[in-house]
Amino acid sequence: MAERFLWFLKVIYLIILSLPSPLRGQNKELKFNDPGLKDQWYLGKNAADDRHNNIWSAWQQGATGKGVRIALIDNGVEVTHNDLLDNIVTESSFNYGDFNRDLQPRKTRTPGHGTKMAGIIGMSANNNQCGVGIAYEAKISALTFGWTALAHAQSYTHRLNETDIYVSTTGPPDNGQFIAKHTKQVMKAYVKGITKGRRGLGSIYIRTSGSGGYHGDHCGADGTVNNLYSIAVASAAKDHSQTLLGEGCASILTSVYTQQTKWFVKGFTKDVITTDLKGSCTINSGGSSTAAAMVSAIVALALSVNQQLTWRDVQYLIIKSSNQNNLPVTWYTNGVGLRFNSRYGFGILDAGKMVTLSKTWKTTGVNMVSQKVLVTKSM
C-alpha cells in the first residue's frame, strides 16, 4: 500500500513538472551571463524599494515573450547586431519609408534610435553580450516608418495574421506647434487590427506619448495617441522627478521607469541598457520611446502566458497592474474609483503583477464600441 501511494505521488510530481512553468506558478531560479545585467536596475532584481518595473518577477514566473511577435515601427534597425540576430525576423521586416527591404537605420539626427528600441524589447539572453531584453524570447519585425498616411496605415496592419503587438516609438514633431490628426486610412487600419488581428482577439497597439514636454507639447494633439485603440505610454524617473521631455494628456494609460533622474545625459547617467549602432551597447536610453518599447515587451510577457487575451483584456490588465508608487503628483479618482494622473496614467506598470493576473484572467470579450445614443435633457 505504501509503495502504491509513493508511486502515485511520483506520478503527480512528474505531471506538475511537465506543465509550463507559468501554470506551475514556480519562482524559477534565473541565471544570466550578460555583463550589462548588473546595471538593469529597472528589472527589480534584489530591489530595496518599488522604484522599478518588477520584470524579474515576471521572468521568475516563466514569462519570456516566447511565441509572441512584435512589430517595431521606428527609423530602421541594425539587424546584423549580434545581440539582435536571434530575435529579429528579417523575412517579416519591411521599410515603409522607401517601400523596400532596406532595413538599415536611416541617417537622421538619431540614427540608432530603432536599434536601441529593438534591444530593449529583445536582446538575446545568456550570450555574454550587453544586457537582457525584457521579452528576450519574443520575435521582432523591424518596420521602418513612412510619413505618408498610406505607409502609416500599412505598417499598422503589417502581416496582421502573424503579429501580436505593434509598437510605434516615433511620432510627429515634438515642438508644441503641431497637431497631428489621425487620417481615415490610419483609423481604418486600427479598426481592422482590433477586429481581425490575432485571430479575432485584436491587435495590440502601443504608442509613445511623445517627448515634447520641454516645449509645452501635449500628447492629446497626436491622433495616433488620442484614440480608443492605442495604448499611450509615458516615462517616469526613479527619483520621482518629472522627466524633462515627458508630455501629459488624458490618453496616457500607464508609465514605466526609464531613467534615474529627469535628465538622461550620455556618459553621466545609467538609465536603460540596450543595443546601439556598430554592434555596440549603450546605457543611455530613456524617455517615452523607451517606455513604449518596455511596455510592448511587458505585454509580450503577459501574452506568452495567456495567448487568449483580447486587446481589451490587455488594457484592463495594464490598468489593474499599474501602481501609484508614491509618485508626488495629484491623483484624481475617476467614476469607478480608480486613481489617475495625466502625466503617468494609472501609475507605474508592474510586470510581475500583470503576468500573475494574466494567467487566470477571465476575458472581457472583444467588442467595446457602443451604438450612438441620443442624449436629451431628461437623461
Annotated catalytic residues are: 74, 113, 289
Q: Please give the span between the terminal C-alpha atoms of the chain, in angstroms, as a whole number.
A: 72
Q: Hey, what's the cell of 340?
A: 489617475
Among 369, 368, 348, 345, which residue's Cα sits nearest to residue 250? 345
The answer to whether residues 296 and 143 touch, using CB atoms and an 8 Å cutoff, is no
Distance (Å, whole) CA 346 – CA 250: 10
Which residues, in sequence order, are CB contacts of 178 under 8 Å at separation 6+?
Answer: 172, 221
Task: Please say whether the dihedral angle defined by the alpha carbons of residues 299, 300, 306 and 309, taken in this order, is positive or negative.
Answer: positive
d(CA 202, CA 160) in angstroms, rounded, equals 10
What does DSSP assign to residue 99?
T
Radius of gyration of the chain (CA): 21
Name the strand (E) or helix (H) holding 187: helix 184-196
What is the Cα–Cα distance from 185 to 154, expressed in whole angstroms? 9
Place of cell 537622421: 108
List strand residue ranges (DSSP E) for the chain, in order: 69-74, 94-95, 139-144, 165-168, 204-208, 230-237, 252-259, 272-276, 280-285, 322-323, 332-333, 339-340, 348-349
